[in-house]
């Protein structure tokens, strides 16, 4: 049985499928960025929180945040902890679609989270 070690860059997630998917422990989710699969415990969960502020159209502004403990209520969108998955999701507006249809969502805190994450992670060879 293949055991995935923690604390290493998720090299095995570079493809769209997990090797040994039939053997993985626990539920699997689809990344809205690359549409690849990953273990629920290895993906980052995004959820909506209400900011209490209103935008120029008078709509209640909704913020998307990274749910680090994967425990906040509501519908979640899942992403690999990979900057490129976030960028792909952003480009496709995949987070907006996954979470709340056409509603306006403020994803700036997610962007910040991924930028910080990317800046802290050691660069792999060839990147």
* Closer to Zn ion by Cβ: residue 4 or 61: 4
At its nearest, how many Å lie between Zn ion and the CB of residue 80?
3
Residues β-bridged to residue 62: 50, 105
Which residues, other chains included, contact 33 with Cβ-Cβ below 8 Å and sequence gap of 6+? 79, 80, 82, 84, 85, 86, 87, 88, 89, 92, 94
- Considering only residues 30 through 49, tell me which ones interact with Zn ion, judged by CB under 5 A: 31, 33-34, 36
At its nearest, how many Å lie between Zn ion and the CB of residue 117?
13
Residues β-bridged to residue 10: none
User: Is residue 98 a contact residue for Zn ion (CB under 5 A)?
Assistant: no
Applying CB under 5 A, what is the total number of residues that bind Zn ion?
A: 6
Residues that bind Zn ion (CB under 5 A): 31, 33-34, 36, 80, 85
């Amino acid at each position: 049985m293949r055991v995935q070690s923690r604390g290493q860059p998720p090299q095995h997630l570079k493809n769209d499928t997990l090797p040994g998917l039939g053997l993985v422990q626990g539920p699997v989710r689809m990344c809205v960025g690359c549409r690849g699969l990953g273990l629920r415990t290895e993906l980052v969960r995004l959820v909506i929180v209400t900011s209490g502020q209103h935008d120029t159209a008078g709509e209640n502004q909704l913020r998307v945040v990274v749910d680090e403990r994967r425990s906040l209520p509501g519908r979640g969108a899942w992403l690999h902890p990979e900057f490129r998955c976030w960028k792909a999701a952003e480009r496709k507006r995949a987070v907006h679609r996954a979470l709340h249809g056409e509603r306006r969502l403020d994803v700036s805190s997610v962007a910040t989270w991924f930028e910080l994450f990317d800046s802290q992670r050691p660069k792999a060879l060839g990147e």
